[in-house]
Amino acid sequence: MKDEIKRILEKVTGESDFLVEAPKEKTHGDYSSNVALVLSKKLGKNPVEVANEIIAQVNQVLIRENKLMIEKIEVAGPGFINFYLSNNFFVEQLKKVDKNFGKNQSLKNKKVIVEYTDPNILKEFHIGHLMSNAIGESISRLFEFQGVKLKRVNYQGDVGMHIAKAVWGKLRNPDMAWAQAYAFGANKYEEDETAKKEVVGINKKVFEKSDKEINKLYDRGRKDSLAYFDTIYKKLGTDFDRLFFESEVADAGKKIVLDGLGKVFEKGEKGAIVFKGEAVGLHTRVFVNSEGLPTYEAKDLALPELKYKYFKYDASVIITAHEQNAYFDVMLAALAKIKPALAAKTKHIGHGMLRLPEGKMSSRTGKVVAAESLIEKVKEMVRQKAADKALDDATIEMIAIGALKYSILKQSVGSDIIFDFEKSISFEGDSGPYLQYSYVRAVSVLVKARAEKVKASLKNPPTSGVGTLEKMMSHFPEMVEKAAAEYEPHVITLYLTELAREFNNYYANSKIVDRADEFSPYKVALTQAFSIIMKNGLWLLGIQAPDKM
């Protein structure tokens, strides 16, 4: 409907640069537009006068096209045009609600590759990776809902200094877990010059695969790390199409830098090769270090081409913590000079940091909050909270994962988050369990309706007309488009929270299943539509909809 109103306004005004949106205040209509304010500036006329002229022309179009869905149009405030839709329109929208409601084919011919999570092997899978995963999975699903042919990929560090530090630590402490060995090696690297030289030497050996003992230790650690990561991906509901590794692009990245020496790159201190980003308003970064080894930057120059060979994408989206924003600015500036077409297809999204009340974490110091331990802690809290509900472990985990994902996705992507344990597991407010519980409540109503043989039907809506719940549900497809266009899953999170609140209010104030009530079939149909939209919306957030709670 939003697009239809905009089409009509464009037709009568010749203007295209204006907004049509659902107003926050319900008394301001179902949709509102600032087209008269935009046009009045160009015409030098009073916006209210322009708005009235537009309304007169819109009404003529509606009559010609036999459009009966707009019941009333009014001018409000300084010149906004408010549109009030007919009850029949909302009932017709409800008839379209099925398992595919909210989907569209607007991006059907687009190929998109989304890279997210990106844990480094031999290190902990921590809550930062959990945040990247939640955001990346939701953005991937939003694209899929619009017909995109999509590939999920994961780029993992399997060579580099972090590997050398972990291997150094493991050689000296074979019984240590890999994450502990890394923290031990990282600290010694900073404190002890001898250890630092040994780590640098190991880094070269790992890169060259020149030491059998180190190769054997490394291969075992790599295998164990990937198996460990897979168990977490399964919990989170992510299935990657392809895993990329730094070792795949290291040689190619170094060659790109050496080929660009004197053109894009130049010699820096101690023989390192750098990109001088100051020329484009950025900063200098090293692409090949003084040991002659490619850095992260060089590897990232080769990765886009490897991705493109795997999947000829129209767009490549990379999701990392916003601490890497400056890094990506420089890397993409260098890529634009080497592979401009691939650079133009690449978009980096920097998300905020997820922190516990204790503060920031650091894998170097060992003060890391493992994602798995956080999941287990939230599971235990859910188990205690729902002790009287006799929920099985699978459902408890489903609720815990939902609580974590909601906490991440309720904020704008760039925002930092301090995780609140108590709020995250609440069944009565701004939380994932609240959405899941609202869905389960609707399903229980439908079970009762079947038992009492009250069949869902929209043929006989109440004489009082449609309410806020019907109107809110009709906006779901627009919310999907908006969330995908802005790379902002929180648009869906906030919408579902408001929708759940409205349904629960409706549930509290209306007896839905009542064989003596002639409007009960309509109320059941309304509940059914809500359950479908809630399930679809939860899927977009990567949150499972449980059968019971």
Min mean pLDDT across 23-27, 197-201, 490-494 is at 23-27
Q: How far is CA 260 from the centre of its chain?
A: 36
pLDDT at 176: 94
Min mean pLDDT across 186-190, 357-361, 396-400 is at 357-361
Angle, in degrees to the nearest 10, between helices 212-236 and 371-385:
30
CATH 3.10.20.30 fits 116-247+315-355, yes or no: no
Place 390 in a pLDDT band, splitting at 50, 70 and 90: confident
- Beta strand 315-321 with 111-115 is parallel
The predicted model scores a pTM of 0.92
- Beta strand 80-85 with 31-33 is antiparallel
Question: Is the pLDDT assigned to residue 96 strictly greater than 50?
Answer: yes
pLDDT at 326: 97
Question: Is the pLDDT assigned to residue 157 strictly greater than 80?
Answer: yes
What average pLDDT does this structure show over 301-308? 98
Burial degree of 204 (CB within 10 A; 0-12, 13-18, 19+): middle
E-strand stretches of 20-147 = 20-21, 31-33, 70-76, 80-85, 111-115
Burial degree of 520 (CB within 10 A; 0-12, 13-18, 19+): buried
Place 366 in a pLDDT band, splitting at 50, 70 and 90: very low
Question: Is the pLDDT assigned to residue 384 strictly greater than 70?
Answer: yes
Among positive and negative, which fits the CA dihedral 506, 507, 513, 516?
Answer: negative
pLDDT at 360: 52
Residue of 23, 49, 27, 22 whose CA lies nearest to 36: 49
Place 367 in a pLDDT band, splitting at 50, 70 and 90: low
Question: Is the pLDDT assigned to residue 543 strictly greater than 90?
Answer: yes
Render pLDDT for 453-470 as a digit per residue (tens, 0 to 9).
Answer: 999 999 999 877 889 999
What region does 66 belong to: left with phi over 0, alpha with psi -120 to 50, or beta? left
Cα gap 369→373, rounded to integer Å: 7
Domain spans in the chain, listed from the N-terminal domain onward = 2-85, 116-247+315-355, 371-540
Instruction: Look up the CATH architecture of domain 2-85.
Output: 2-Layer Sandwich (3.30)
Residue of 231, 228, 242, 236 whose CA lies nearest to 138: 236
Question: Is the pLDDT assigned to residue 82 strictly greater than 60?
Answer: yes
Min mean pLDDT across 10-14, 23-27, 194-198 is at 23-27
Q: What percent of the chain has pLDDT over 90?
A: 86
CATH 1.10.645.10 fits 371-540, yes or no: no
SS (H, E, C) 352-418: CCEEECCECCECCCCECCEHHHHHHHHHHHHHHHCHHHCCCHHHHHHHHHHHHHHHHHCCCCCCCEE
Question: Is the pLDDT assigned to residue 68 strictly greater than 80?
Answer: no
pLDDT at 359: 58
pLDDT, averaged across the chain: 94
E-strand stretches of 211-351 = 242-245, 266-267, 273-275, 285-288, 315-321, 346-351
Cβ atoms 500, 537 nearer than 8 A: no
Same fold, 2-85 and 116-247+315-355: no
The CB density around residue 518, as the number of other CB atoms within 10 Å, is: 10
What average pLDDT does this structure show over 28-41? 94
Question: Is the pLDDT assigned to residue 363 strictly greater than 80?
Answer: no
* Helix, coil or strand: residue 287: strand
Cα gap 210→167, rounded to integer Å: 14
